Structure 1
Amino acid sequence: MSVYDFPPLAAALDAAYSSVLALTGWLAPAFEDVAPLAAVVLLTLAVRSAFVPLAAAAVRAQAAQRRIAPAVRELQRRYAGDATRLQRELAELYRREDASPFRGMLPLLAQAPVLTVVYGLFSHPMISGHANALLSSAVFGAPLGGSLWSAVAAGAVSWPAVAVPLTVVALAVASAELTRRRIRRQQPAAPPMLAALAYASVIATVVVPLAAATYLAVSAAWGALERPLLERRIVRPATP
């Protein structure tokens, strides 16, 4: 039994599927054969736009964590031998500074149900008992239901069919590099692995269906551009 068989999730997936098919049909006169991919891109932009307030909340929470980090380290040093007192002092610090070690995770948790539906839409072969027509579409010979990895493994490396997934992977790589550099600039002492995690989505774009890879790459590009803009708007004005 798949998680997508859970009735509320199945209903949400079916509704999203119908919406994307309608969007594809609406885009077809202008984009022709590229309409399915254009629909994926537009849906990704719509989802990320809806999550902007949550992204802003995460930026505020992480800025607060960085602001009080010296005080947290001092409390940990002072009460290293008294765990109960340490927890009490930390709770008071978080209350006084209106910060929380978990607040930065809330936006990600809030996105989880939507991201689950979106990923199922772009990767699940069957939706509500019928074939996922979105994955049977192709753009310049590249099927939205196939991955770059599967194409290379099968020997189907004709240039038109590989150019589209390669472009998607290149977008993911560029976005990951921007994110990695931002992390290294903001946290010079952070372990290298933390910055390298930005490339996790690149690996996914190689092995997941092209439709899902497009969602991941466009979402990563949005995040790489959104984060510095939010930080410039939210964090810097509050810095003396």
Structure 2
Amino acid sequence: MDLYAFPPIAALLDGAHAVLMGLADLLEPLVGVTSAAAAVVLVTLLVRAALIPVGVSQAKAERTRARLAPQLAALQRRHQKNPERLQREMMSLYRSEGTTPLAGCLPMLIQAPVVGIIYALFILPTIAGHANQLLTHTFLGVPLGSSLAGSIASGTVTLDVLLVFGAVIVMIAAVGEVTRRVFTPQATQPQATQPQATTGGSGPGASASPLENPTALRLLGLAQFITAVIAVFVPLAAGLYLLVTVAWTLGQRMLLRRVYPLPAPSAA
């Protein structure tokens, strides 16, 4: 069964197709043949603007986790031999503060369907029974529905394809590196208060939360570059969405970090 032919999904894609085509028609007098790409960028900006309140909540949750780090470390030392008790005490502390260990993950969850819709719009030849006109649009001479991996596999890769995709992928990776450098050190500061590494650092009670664990932080740093890898396999339109998203996220986080600064290391 074709999932995209399922009536509710087909209707959703048809509506999204109409919105993007309408925006492309409005932007064409301003940007010419790149109007569909500009429409994708505009939609991305609108989605990110709508998620600003969620980003504020995310910044507040990050500050709360940093403030709770000393108390969480104390719970670890007290209950390191009783993981079940440790988890109960940790969750009780989070509840009393009105937060959770995974607070702030909502933006990623909300954006997943948007990325899925844009991905579908630029791989399907037909949508709701009619031709997909978005596939006729290009960005700097490269079809928005093409992917770097697909072009290489089919032997149709050109210099334009390499340059455009290379620029998008390199910029996504650069934003990821800046994000890693700017935010990983602050996230690891609370760990200086945890002395139990010699007695069970790899056990169930080894970290206060998934986002304060050094191993988890290294994985989060690696995850910044996973987006660049994804851009190799998705259509160019989806790659543009990812680039604008990671750039917006970095700028927003830097601004909100100033508004909601983390506690100083000495305070922890």
TM (normalized to structure 2)?
0.78
Measure the CA separation in 2 of the matches of 1:110 and 1:69.
Answer: 28
The amino acid of 1:121's aligned partner reads L
For residue 157 of structure 1, report the CA deviation from its aligned partner.
4.5
One-letter amino acid of the structure 2 residue matched with residue 195 of structure 1: G
The one-letter code of the counterpart of 1:227 is R
Distance 2:118 2:86 in 1: 42
2:253 matched to which residue of 1?
227
Deviation of 1:5 (Å): 4.1
Indicate the larger mover: 50-59 or 98-107.
98-107
The equivalent of 1:186 in structure 2 is 186
Which residue is equivalent to 1:134? 134
Separation in structure 2 between the aligned mates of residue 166 and residue 76 of structure 1, nearest angstrom: 46
Deviation string 1:25-84 (CA, Å, 9 cap, x unpaired) is 111111111111111111111111111111221221122112212211211221234455
1:15-94 matches, cutoff 5 A: 15-83=15-83, 85-94=85-94
Q: Relative to 1, partners in 2 of residues 1:60 and 1:4: Cα closer, same or farther, differing over 3 Å?
A: farther
Deviates more, 1:35-44 or 1:174-183: 174-183
Distance 1:124 1:234, change over 3 A: farther
* Counterpart secondary structure, 1:103: coil
Deviations 1:87-117 (A, max 9, x none): 4432332233232223223343344433433
Deviations 1:125-160 (A, max 9, x none): 432233322123223321111112333444445434
Once the 2 structures are TM-superposed, how far is the Cα of residue 18 of structure 1 from its aligned partner?
A: 0.4
Unaligned runs of 5+ in 2: 192-213
Aligned-residue CA RMSD (Å): 2.6
Gaps of 5+ in 1: none
Conserved 8 A contact 2:54-2:104 = no
Given that 1:140 and 1:161 are in contact with CA atoms closer than 8 Å, whether structure 2 keeps it comes out as: no
Equivalence for 2:143? 143
Q: How many residues align?
A: 239
Equivalent residue, structure 2, for 1:101? 101
Report the counterpart of residue 199 of structure 2 in structure 1: none
Moved more, 160-169 or 217-226: 160-169
